[in-house]
Amino acid sequence: MFELVRDVGWRTIENVHGLGGITLFGSRLVYETLVPPYRLRRVIDELYNTGVLSLAIVCTSGLAVGLVLGLQGYNTLVRFGAEQSVGAVVGLSLVRELGPVLTALLVTGRAGSAVAAEIGAMVATEQLDGLRMMSVDPLDFVTQPKALALALAMPLLSALFIVFGLFGGYLVGVGLLGVDAGTYLSSLENNIDFRNDVLGSLLKSVVFGALVGLVATWRGYTSAPNSAGVSRATTGAVVQASVATLMFDYVITALWGVGV
């Protein structure tokens, strides 16, 4: 019994410690991003790794989700005679929620894990120590470009996900189920508002991008310098970033919808 209480206490302290650690790490990352040298070359390289290489999975998933939404949306709306609104249903679901959230989860799995693993491997092979010995700050040289690239790529990928999803909905709704193309598009356009929907979606994807960038780089950076440590860091990064994304999704949705 006493063991249990002590265990809980210990875990709480560890978590608070970890929370402090990640906050300090995060503020250092922000500082290094804003302060020269800006390392544009490396940011572009990392954008390739996180953004371009995630394009395939993001676009195909977007298309697939759009197809499903079109199908499900139509099947449900047809019961109320409202199948003309399928464009709005597909569009709003994608823009408000599915676009930013699913993109974030996909990118976390693909690019977030890769970043955590890369950095973890660099810790294990003393590459970061090597940098320190050359008077280079590994945070500035390695982690900052990766985190920044993740944060920048996310909104772009999210927008592409949504566009492919809208197209998927179009394929199913107009191509398959006979909704009029003009109706689909006008239903889309009339029901999506820039301030309410698109801006909120953009904000979400930027926040998620920053989250994934922070969690993935931090887990890699603080991993134990051996292969078990690296694998723990990678899986931990995916789990933590995913959960954080979902939780922040609620917070942003609530604040954005209420505040305005």
Q: Which residues bind other proteins (CB under 8 A)?
A: 41-42, 44-45, 47-48, 51-52, 55, 80, 82, 84-85, 91, 95, 121-122, 125-127, 129-137, 141, 153, 155-157, 159-160, 162-163, 188-199, 201-202, 260
Minimum gap (Å) between residue 43 Cβ and other proteins: 10
Minimum CB–partner distance for residue 157 and other proteins (Å): 7
DSSP string, 39-104: -HHHHHHHHIIIIIHHHHHHHHHHHHHHHHHHHHHHHHHGGGT-GGGHHHHHHHIIIIIIHHHHHH
Cβ 97 to other proteins, closest distance in Å? 14
Torsion over CA: 139, 140, 145, 147 (sign): positive
Closer CB to other proteins, 140 or 211, in the complex: 140
Nearer to other proteins, 71 or 142 (CB): 142
34 vs 40 by CB, closer to other proteins: 40
Distance between CA atoms of residues 125 and 229, nearest Å: 12
User: Cβ of residue 132: shortest distance to other proteins, in angstroms?
Assistant: 6
Tokens, residue 84: 């003309």
Closest to other proteins by CB, 22 vs 163, is: 163
Distance CA 119, CA 46 (A): 13
Distance of closest approach, residue 193 Cβ to other proteins, in angstroms: 6
8 or 44: whose CB is closer to other proteins?
44
CB within 8 A of 213, min separation 6: which ones? 29, 115, 146, 147, 148, 149, 150, 151
Q: Which is nearer to other proteins, 163 or 177 (CB)?
A: 163
CA distances from 161 to 16, 92, 99, 206 (A): 36, 13, 6, 14
Q: Measure the CA–CA gap between 162 and 103, rounded to whole angstroms.
A: 9
Amino acid at 217: T
Given its phi and psi angles, is residue 37 left (phi above 0), alpha (psi -120 to 50 degrees) or beta? beta
CB of 25 to other proteins, least distance (A): 14
